[in-house]
Amino acid sequence: MSAPAAEAPALPAVPEGATIVTLKIARFNPEVSEEQHWDSFQVPALPTDRLLNLLLYVKGYLDGTLTFRRSCAHGICGSDAMRVNGVNRLACKLLMKDMLPADGKPVTITIEPIRGLPVEKDLVVDMEPFFDAFRAVKPFLITSGNEPTRERIQSQHDRARFDDTTKCILCACCTTSCPVYWSDGSYFGPAAIVNAHRFIFDSRDEGAAERLDILNEKDGVWRCRTTFNCTEACPRGIQVTKAIQEVKRALLFSR
Ligand code: SF4
Ligand code: SF4
Ligand code: FES
**Cβ distance 135 to 87 under 8 Å?**
no
> Which ligand is located closest to the Cα atom of residue 194?
2
CATH topology of domain 127-145+153-254: Fumarate Reductase Iron-sulfur Protein; Chain B, domain 2 (1.10.1060)
- pLDDT reported for residue 9: 83
Cβ–ligand 3 distance for 80 under 6 Å, the answer yes
pLDDT mean by block of 10 residues, the chain; 255 residues: 66 92 98 97 96 98 98 98 98 96 88 98 98 98 90 95 98 98 92 98 97 95 94 98 98 86
Helices marked H in the chain:
51-57, 128-136, 156-160, 179-183, 190-200, 208-215, 229-233, 240-253
Measure the N-to-C terminal CA separation of the chain; round to a whole number of Å.
76
Q: Where are the domains of the chain?
A: 19-124, 127-145+153-254
CA nearest neighbour of 73 among 100, 55, 61: 55
- For ligand 2, say whether the CB of 233 is within 6 Å of any of its atoms: yes
Question: Can you tell me which atom of ligand 3 is nearest the CA of 169?
Answer: 3
Answer whether 43 contacts ligand 2 (Cβ < 6 A).
Answer: no
CA of 251 to the centre of ligand 2 (A): 22
pLDDT, residue 222, reads 96
Q: What pLDDT does 85 receive?
A: 97
- Cβ of 77 closer than 6 Å to ligand 3, yes or no, is yes
Residue 255, pLDDT score: 66
* pLDDT recorded at residue 2: 53
Instruction: Give CATH for domain 19-124.
Output: 3.10.20.30
* Within this chain, domains 19-124 and 127-145+153-254 share the same CATH topology: no
Q: Give the separation between CA 90 and CA 55, rounded to whole angstroms.
A: 12
Å from CA of 233 to ligand 3 middle? 15
210, 217, 165: which is closest to 191 by C-alpha? Answer: 165
